[in-house]
Amino acid sequence: MVFEASIVGVFSYFARTTVRDQLGADLPWAGYAAAMLLVTAVLAYFDINLTAKALGVLLVAEIAVLFAVATAVLLRGGGPDGIPLAPVDPKNAFTGASAGLGLFFAFWSWVGFESTAMYGEESRDPKRVIPRATLISVIGVGLFYIYVSWMTIAGNGLDGAVRVSAGSSPLDLFFDPARGFIGAWAVDAFQWLLITGSFACGMAFHQCAARYLYAIGREGFLHPALGRTHPRHGSPYLASFTQSVIAVVIVGAFWATGQDPYIHLYTLLAILGTMAILIVQTLCSFAVIGYFRRNHPEDRHWFRTLTAPLLGGLGMTAVVVLLVVNMDTAAGTAAGSLFFEAIPWIVGLVFFGGLGLGLYLRARRPERYEVIGRIVLEDAAERTDDDVEQAPANA
């Protein structure tokens, strides 16, 4: 839920900077934030296909520019140091003073890959399509990240990449190779695509959060109305509207208290969301082992249901430790704010509050407890309002 508001912050920052630099109009960041929240809410109200098309066009354009710049660097033999191999040497991933921080930022950038599972009920064959889509996205995006990052460092040179990253304009790490290897027009296009890419990312987080709310409401928690879908568009429109209200309240609170859209809204909420979701992903890894020890013996596998989730859980535990150790550095100048100090307490409150609720339901209301998470993937269509109204009152 907080990731959408976080992305609204970085979208507003990019939009204000680009419009000011290229068009000469310096407008308040809150105006851009309001526009993004409104457009996201409208698109999410309609059919998911409309939103998917909008996301696809924006993301493909951004990927195309990144790929073009990286390929131009490769074809022209790189920058001052040519095409160095040091950035892709595995042994260098764990050396240097900033290795822990770098690994944390890598996982920060990876948040959201698991969102494919949220669209299971809207897929024709979810048990086949969703695992395949997840693997393709992880492998494909991973290779793309490596390629672009490697060529970006090559275009700046080893020393130049470090110097620019630590400077006052870290985005020049991408802008300088684009300007030098393609032309100034590529930088202008890149700036606009940062805006559209941020918008697409925020809309994706909105859809994911809305579907979590939809699943919770459909199971009879919070409010059953959250589990309704639009009779015409099939979208979880009430859950989507609820997520929009949450995002508006969060963004409005940061704006009313005079916070910066990038330093505070984006960075602090990204740290909050990343800490929470890394803990969830860690628990999910170990939960796979526990689940298959008690259920479905026919599906148990030494690698898929034991070794892989065990390695994943241990690795994610290490990343959570890295996050805690590097929180101050990751937050930068926002580390001194009251909200930053409250982040671990907020995550702890949500975690232990949810754990307490689960234990209470299991002990006192086991029939409600058994309903949690019971999404049947064989049913590839979301429920309509009529389905919700016909559900049992205690469901």
Rounded to the nearest angstrom, the gap between the alpha carbon of residue 245 and the centroid of all alpha carbons in its chain is: 19
**pTM of the full structure:** 0.84
Query: Hey, which bits of the chain come out as E strands?
Result: none
Contacts of 126 (CB under 8 A, 6+ apart): 120, 377, 378, 380
The predicted pLDDT at position 378 comes to 38
Our measurement of the distance from residue 230's CA atom to the centroid of its chain's CA atoms, rounded to an integer in Å, reads: 26
Q: With contact defined as beta carbons under 8 Å apart, do 34 and 9 qualify? A: no
State pLDDT tens for residues 107-150.
777 777 777 777 666 667 777 888 888 888 888 888 999 999 99
Q: E strand or H helix at 322, and its extent? A: helix 308-325
d(C-alpha 119, C-alpha 102), whole Å: 31
Contact between 37 and 249 (Cβ < 8 Å): no
Whole-number pLDDT of residue 97: 59
Give me the pLDDT at residue 394, please.
38
Query: In the chain, which stretches have pLDDT less than 50?
Result: 376-385, 387-395
**Contact yes or no for 215/382 (Cβ under 8 A):** no
- Whether residue 46 contacts residue 302, with contact meaning beta carbons closer than 8 Å, is answered with no
Q: Rounded to the nearest 5°, which phi and psi values hold at 281?
A: -65, -35
Decide: 154 and 83 in contact? Cβ < 8 Å: yes
DSSP 220: T
Strand partners, 290: none
CA atoms within 13 A on the CB side of 300: 12
Q: pLDDT per residue over 72-99, tens digit each?
A: 999 999 999 999 999 888 888 777 656 6
Distance between CA atoms of residues 119 and 48, nearest Å = 10
| Residues in contact with 391: Cβ distance below 8 Å, sequence separation at least 6, in sequence order | 220, 224
**How far is 335 from 186, CA to CA, in rounded Å?**
34
What are the residues facing 79 on neighbouring strands? 82
Instruction: Please say whether the beta carbons of 286 and 26 come within 8 A.
Output: no
DSSP secondary structure string, 243-295? HHHHHHHHHHHHHHTT--IIIIIIHHHHHHHHHHHHHHHHHHHHHHHHHHHHS
376: left (phi over 0), alpha (psi -120 to 50) or beta: beta
Q: Closest by alpha carbon to 292, among 311, 316, 308? A: 308
Which pLDDT belongs to residue 179?
A: 93
Q: Cα separations (Å) of 54 from 48, 49, 123, 197?
A: 10, 9, 19, 11
Q: What pLDDT score does 168 carry? A: 76
* Exposure string for 357-395, b = 16+ CB within 10 A, e = fewer: eeeebeeeeeebeebeeeeeeeeeebbeeeebeeeeeee
Strand partners, 82: 79
| Residue among 391, 54, 24, 327 nearest 202 (CA) | 54
